[in-house]
Structure 1
C-alpha cells in the first residue's frame, strides 16, 4: 500500500463523505447509487485507518503493526478500535448465483456494478452510523 498519513486519511474520508452526500440528491439512479455506496465504503475505511494511526501513535499506515493493517476489512478495524457501532453485514447478489458478498467485498460489488438483493440496506446503514460516530468523536 502507498504510505498514507493521518492527515491524508482524514482529508480523504471527509471528501468521500461530502461527495456521498452530494450524490444523495440523485438517489434512485442505479449507477449513481453504486458510485455513492462505493464512496461511503471508502470514507468509512479511511476514517477507521486514520483512527488506527492515532491509536497506535504512528505517522503512516505502513508503520502500523501487521495485525492493525486491515486492508478493506472494516469490521476488523471496528474490533481493534472497540467502536460501539454495528458491524457491516454481508450481502447477497441479485442474480442466479446469489453469491455471498462479504463486508470487505462490498466496495468491489458496487464498483463493478453488482446489484445486491439482501443485506445492502443494512450495510449502508451500518456504514452511515460508523461515519456519524467518527464525525462526532
Structure 2
C-alpha cells in the first residue's frame, strides 16, 4: 500500500506538474511539497483540500489510496470510478481522436438500445396493467 506522499508524487507527475508548479497551485513552497512527497510531514486539512481540487479527486482517494476514485466532474456532480473503469479509460487514452469518436458512437448506440428496450418494457407493462384495469372495471 502506498503512502500519502507517494500518492501525491504520483498524482503530481500524472498531471505533468513540477514541485514548483504544484506548490504555486496549493499556495505552499516547493520544500513543503517535497516534504509531503517524502513523508517527512503530512499536509494540513486545508492543504489536502487544495490538493484534491488540483488533482480533481476525493479526499478518501488522497488520504487512503482507495481503490475507488471519486472525481469531481462539475460544481455539484461527482462520479465514482472503480479500477476496471480506470483501466478502460487508460485504453481509450491510447486511441487517436477518430478512434475515440468511434468508441463514443458504439457506447452511445448501446445506451440508446438499452433505453429503448427499457421504454418498451415499461410500455408493455403499462398496457398489461391498463388492460387488467379495463377488464376489472367492465366485469
| TM-score (structure 1 length as normaliser) | 0.25
For the pair shown, which has the larger CA radius of gyration, 1 or 2? 2
> When you count helix as a share of all residues, which structure comes out higher?
2
Q: Between the two structures, name the one with larger relative contact order (CA 8 Å, sep ≥ 6).
A: 1
| TM-score (structure 2 length as normaliser) | 0.25
